[in-house]
Amino acid sequence: MSHSLPPVPASSARRGRAAGWVAAIAAVYLLALWYVDRDRNIVSRLAELAAPLGACALLVLASYVARYQRWRAVLVAQGHPPAHWALGFAAYLAGFAFTASPGKAGELLRIRYFAWQGVPARTTLTTFIFERALDLLVITVLAIGAAALIPLFGLLVAIILAVLLGLAALACWPRLARTAGGLIDRVPGTPIRRLGHFLVDGAVALGPLLRLRLLLPASAWGGVAWLLTAAAFALLCASVGIDLAWPLALGIYPLAMLIGALSFVPGGVGTTEAAIVLMLGANGVSPDTALAVAIGIRLVSLWLAVLVGMLAMAALELSAQRRSPA
């Protein structure tokens, strides 16, 4: 379908709730930063790191291109490629606007914007689940370089593998999916049942995507994307004089992200930073320096993503308003 499709009716209530979550999390984050900065002057240290933080931001922005290339490849494999690369990229970036929402569910805002380009909601959901699953795998592999810093790393890997195997089982065994659907039907609450069926349907749709001809290039794009982000963290560490072996430098941030994800705190806010501080501290880095690095990398990763997503969302909404009939 053409990218000139009329806008889908806005789900303003859902977007409002997601925006409320992000605003509340950002407010708490800023308050915590102000509290910590009273005696440690973290903000002034970050100002002195403007140049390396800018370089880190460029690496993170480049990672978005790699991530979208993977996303687009998965859409193509399902027979729904975006008509135009730039519009598809904008729709992908818009999902980052609410990436700090619980479980990153706000990223499903992409359903709205890809629908304008003729991509069905189920296809976007399936692509989202495929992306999250591959991200878990790639980030876990990168985190191995810092595994010695976390005594329970084996348990962490076991949990992740259980999640991935569960998704694969739902995708490959229709009988299991039907059983899961039956269990969901017994759950009280219509919205919860609807969400459960939506997610199981998305997992089932993964079946045709579990092919080496897609998994290999998609994993490669994911590896490039997260290596760029891990390299941004390593660069920031080097800029403040932290000397780490390269497997460790590339492994700390991915491992901290996994810890943040398993904390079930939206966006891993606070827990990811704490994990970075603890792991750097275990390598002899002072608390103030470790905290500056932790906050700095989160500014150019999580909060940069939110900003880029908001800008992309605003651009798409304004474009839709101009195309709407008077």
pLDDT average, residue stretch 271-281: 93
Query: Both tokens of residue 154?
Result: 């084996």
pTM of the shown model: 0.83
**Res 18 pLDDT > 60:** no
Average pLDDT over residues 154-163: 88
Whole-angstrom distance, CA of residue 35 vs CA of residue 270: 13
Q: Could you read off the pLDDT of 60-90 as tens digits, one per residue?
A: 999 999 999 999 999 999 999 888 899 999 9
3-state secondary structure of 179: helix
Asked if pLDDT for residue 285 goes beyond 80, the answer is yes
Residue with tokens 């969302």: 313
CA nearest neighbour of 135 among 104, 98, 102: 104
Which residue type occupies 114?
Answer: F
The dihedral built from the CA positions of residue 290, 292, 293 and 298, taken in this order, carries a sign that is positive
User: In the prediction, which pLDDT does 1 show?
Assistant: 36
Which 8-state DSSP code applies to residue 209?
G
Of 102-106, 196-200, 229-233, 277-281, give the lowest mean pLDDT range: 102-106
**What is the DSSP secondary-structure string of 68-124?**
HHHHHHHHHHTT---SSHHHHHHHHHHGGGGTTSGGGGGGGGHHHHHHTTT--HHHH
Contacts 24+ apart (CB under 8 A), 85-90: 87/3, 87/117, 88/114, 88/117, 89/65, 90/312, 90/315, 90/316
pLDDT at 241: 92
Local confidence band at 12 (pLDDT 50, 70, 90 cut-offs) = low
Tell me how far apart the alpha carbons of residues 219 and 104 are, in angstroms, rounded to a whole number.
20
Computed over every residue of the chain, the mean pLDDT equals 84
> Is 90 exceeded by the pLDDT of residue 8?
no
Q: How many other CB atoms are there within 10 angstroms of residue 105's CB atom? A: 16
Output DSSP code: residue 268.
G
Among the ranges given (9-13, 279-283, 312-316, 321-325), the one the predictor scored with the smallest mean pLDDT: 9-13
Q: Where are the domains of the chain?
A: 42-317
Asked if residue 131 lies in contact with residue 213, where contact means CB atoms within 8 angstroms, the answer is no
